[in-house]
Amino acid sequence: MPERKTIQAYLTAVEEQIRWKRARPMVALELKRHLEDQRDAFAEEENSPEEAERLAVEEMGDPVTVGTELDRIHRPRSAWGIFVPVMLSLAVWLGFRVYQHWGVSYLADYYAPRWGGTIVLALGAMVLLYFLDYTLFGKRPLLAAGLVTAAVFGRPLLEVTLPSFSYTHSLGDYLPLLLPFAMALAIYALREKGTRGLAACCVLGLAPTLPWIALGWMQMLWPTLLCNTALLMLAVKSGWFGGQKRNWLLVAGYALAALGAILLALTVLTGGAPHSLIDAVWRAQGGKDDYAVYSKRFVRELLSNARLVGAADMPKEWENPAQWQESLHWILDFAHYDDMLFAVLANFGWLGFLAVQAPMAVLLAVGWRTCRRQTAVLGRLLASAVLLTLTWQAAAYVVQTMTGLLGWKALLTPFPYPLLSDGGTALVVDCALLGILLSVFHSSSIVREDSRGRAFIPRKTA
């Protein structure tokens, strides 16, 4: 048709075939550059400007066919492999809460609105960040990284100056979960600065630890230091800071600092702290035995007597079945953010233990597989930061349960199992991280990088 013999008309016809509106500017921009190059080539062959433009458009092919093919390629990634496990995990979270409190007179008046509000807030944070253009974080990456780091640094100071803060809001306790996100942004901003940029990332990553060490809270921070180490290793291996061997020495130094933080956390926690669940069972049985010895023995016996399905068998040395049933009841009632998997294993068996973790296992498997396909540096860094955080949360929590370390609270991780254990603030933070991950996957096909390697999504064709 005559109206399609110009570049602009051709672009309009192509854009009409693309259903994802956010993809249209990117497609039009790239097609326009290609058509203009072709037009200039034809013009050099002594064709008139109008004829050169017509030939360039004709060579490109039918705009409807081209637009249909581009629509197939550039569709938003719905990431059902992430969405479905998230919804299943939240359903398990809500179901377990209801099962715990079934029969409580104020279940509908108090707990239900509280749980419903928590889930709505968590999903709201995830959806908001999902539809956000994640490349906006790359516009001022150092500013965003600095704000997160400053917030983590200031949390212990706020505790000292305003002691009531810890009793009114626990968000600050979960801010360390955002440190890998901040490290990813710092790496993105400084990746072309060579060894100096890498050193600045290391300093930024270690800076928040100082006040936490001073207050003996290092166990809240060291797991994220390990995630940061993995991100730095990814950056050096990818050559983003250059190919100097001394870069690996810097990363090794950071890893040693993280190891020192681990040892310090273990020193602080020597002797253990009473765990709410085991302490409740211990008290229910009279509190006669030494608590530390009792907690180890109780966890070991319960793990060895767990069934494939159903409540765990009573240990041989126990003579009172009623007392064992009472203990299982206490385990279920007192299961909170740090012992939920333990309660599931005790009351529902190994299949229940594995079933409640299946959604998160699928989510992480799909997430890591999709992360490897990210071509934009910013997308790969942010996706890796989120997945490292969630992977560590889940793996450390399971190991902590399986090795009987519940009596030494927060030895491996102070954070709950993602999307599953009690703890509304942690649920919101984890869902926010998942929103960032989904945003990366959702926009991966239309994100481009300019000549300086900065990620962006084209907004216009000119």
* 196-253 confidence digits (pLDDT tens): 999 999 999 988 887 877 776 766 777 788 899 999 999 999 999 987 788 999 999 9
Average pLDDT over residues 15-34: 80
How many other β-carbons are positioned within 10 Å of the β-carbon of residue 115? 18
Higher-confidence position of 344 and 303: 344
Q: 160 pLDDT band (50/70/90 cuts)?
A: low
Reported pTM? 0.83
Residue-level pLDDT at 407: 47
Residue-level pLDDT at 24: 80
Q: 291 pLDDT band (50/70/90 cuts)?
A: low
Residue-level pLDDT at 273: 46
Higher-confidence position of 424 and 2: 424
Residue-level pLDDT at 231: 95
Residue-level pLDDT at 261: 75
Residue-level pLDDT at 271: 46
Average pLDDT over residues 5-32: 81
Does residue 283 have a pLDDT over 80? Answer: no
Q: 270 pLDDT band (50/70/90 cuts)?
A: very low
Q: 171 pLDDT band (50/70/90 cuts)?
A: low
In the chain, pLDDT over 90 holds for what percent of residues?
28
